[in-house]
A and B are shown apart, each in its own frame.
Chain A
């Protein structure tokens, strides 16, 4: 339901011919950041969803084709980047300086 599922792991069972998956990981100082909050903002910068990264720093969203922004908030800092997503798998990395 609306509870964020476990992040990362296999995409088995996800139909990448219909789903627009945006996934990746959050990094800081050469290491993945676990427990970072990552939010997906729509083309008008409005909140669409938020997840907490896995122990390996991973996040995953199921969106739609188009322009999105990923923003992460963690005790070590924040980072943001735009994503132009298409149907299928869209992978990106968020690096916190």
Chain B
């Protein structure tokens, strides 16, 4: 896997809009962004209503994922090109999610919606309808997803990377600062976690830094190449961004995303917390 297999430029995306076999997918939590204008021909996925179980805190199951992609007109052989707002946080989450369910060819648009808008590239309000498919998902690949017990057992032995902002890591604030600071969980971080904010991997326009810059970033922060890695944030989308950097851009092996993240960990009874 290399950068060109998993990441496309905005120029590439613009040149390939409408190509058969390529499906552009916008992923946001707030789909009003999509409704106000999207890439020509792109379908939308709502991070919350489409990708989260409506009852429990978990993914939708394999069959629901199959039904979702079938209804959006995405086939198993299609190249799925994801983009979104928030510096591609939710697009990276969807990327990880598509990989978990075994989709073969998935890519991100470098810079996502932000770079597209800052470049002044065209957006469309046309309603997009694609003929339904019969999508078949694989069993979830749990080699890329960490659960809480594994996180606790990894304290002091694996690379645990907290990708939240320094003020969330220290417990000064409990959520990214565009959200009200009213949370049930305790502040702080998993003991022995390194704080390498996701934002250090991105340029200001939302594009990823170069492979050389990224390799240097993690090496300088004490990333141990010999150890498996778990990344977490608050709810698992920013850590998907870092998971993408580590596993897909830098090609590191055994990297998991802990999507339970701080909302789960900071609410657990009896687990160790550092502040």
Interface residues of A (CB under 8 A from B): 1-6, 14-15, 18-20, 22, 35, 37, 40, 42, 44, 46-52, 60-64, 73-75
Q: Which residues of A contact B199 (CB under 8 A)?
A: 46-47
In the complex, besides A2-B86, A2-B175, 19 extra interface pairs with C-beta distance below 8 angstroms are: A1-B29, A1-B48, A2-B176, A2-B238, A3-B29, A3-B86, A4-B178, A6-B30, A15-B182, A46-B165, A48-B167, A50-B87, A51-B178, A62-B177, A62-B180, A62-B181, A63-B177, A64-B172, A73-B204
Which B residues between 41 and 65 are near A, CB-CB below 8 angstroms?
A: 47-48
Given A42-B166, A50-B87, check contact A62 B178 (CB 8 Å): yes
Any A CB within 8 A of the CB of B179: yes
Task: Determine how close the nearest CB of chain A comes to the CB of B182; give it in whole angstroms.
Answer: 8
Can you identify 28 A-B contacts, CB atoms within 8 angstroms?
A1-B29, A1-B47, A2-B175, A2-B176, A3-B28, A3-B29, A3-B47, A3-B48, A3-B85, A4-B30, A19-B182, A22-B177, A40-B177, A47-B197, A48-B165, A48-B167, A48-B176, A49-B165, A49-B176, A49-B179, A50-B178, A62-B177, A62-B180, A63-B173, A63-B177, A64-B167, A73-B205, A75-B120
**Whole-angstrom distance between the alpha carbons of A38 and B208 in the complex?**
19
Task: Determine how close the nearest CB of chain B comes to the CB of A85; give it in whole angstroms.
Answer: 10
Most buried by A among B30, B90, B176: B176
Interface size on B, as a range, is: 35 or more
Q: How many residue pairs, one in A and one in B, have C-beta atoms under 8 Å apart? A: 96
Q: Which residues of A contact B182 (CB under 8 A)?
A: 15, 19
Task: Determine how close the nearest CB of chain B comes to the CB of A5; give it in whole angstroms.
Answer: 7
Task: Determine how close the nearest CB of chain B comes to the CB of A41; give it in whole angstroms.
Answer: 9
Closest Cβ neighbor of B52 among chain A residues = A1
**Whole-angstrom distance between the alpha carbons of A68 and B183 in the complex?**
22
Task: Determine how close the nearest CB of chain A comes to the CB of B252; give it in whole angstroms.
Answer: 23
Q: Do A19 and B237 have beta carbons less than 8 Å apart? A: no
Q: Which residues of A contact B11 (CB under 8 A)?
A: none
Q: Do B167 and A3 have beta carbons less than 8 Å apart? A: no
Q: Do A2 and B179 have beta carbons less than 8 Å apart? A: yes
**Whole-angstrom distance between the alpha carbons of A44 and B238 in the complex?**
20
Task: Determine how close the nearest CB of chain A comes to the CB of B33; give it in whole angstroms.
Answer: 8
Q: Do A37 and B178 have beta carbons less than 8 Å apart? A: no
Any A CB within 8 A of the CB of B243: no
Contact of B167 among A6, A19, A42, A51 (CB under 8 A): A42
Any A CB within 8 A of the CB of B226: no
Q: Do B86 and A50 have beta carbons less than 8 Å apart? A: yes
**Whole-angstrom distance between the alpha carbons of A60 and B238 in the complex?**
20
Q: Do B177 and A61 have beta carbons less than 8 Å apart? A: yes
Given A47-B165, A75-B120, check contact A52 B237 (CB 8 Å): no
**Whole-angstrom distance between the alpha carbons of A63 and B165 in the complex?**
12
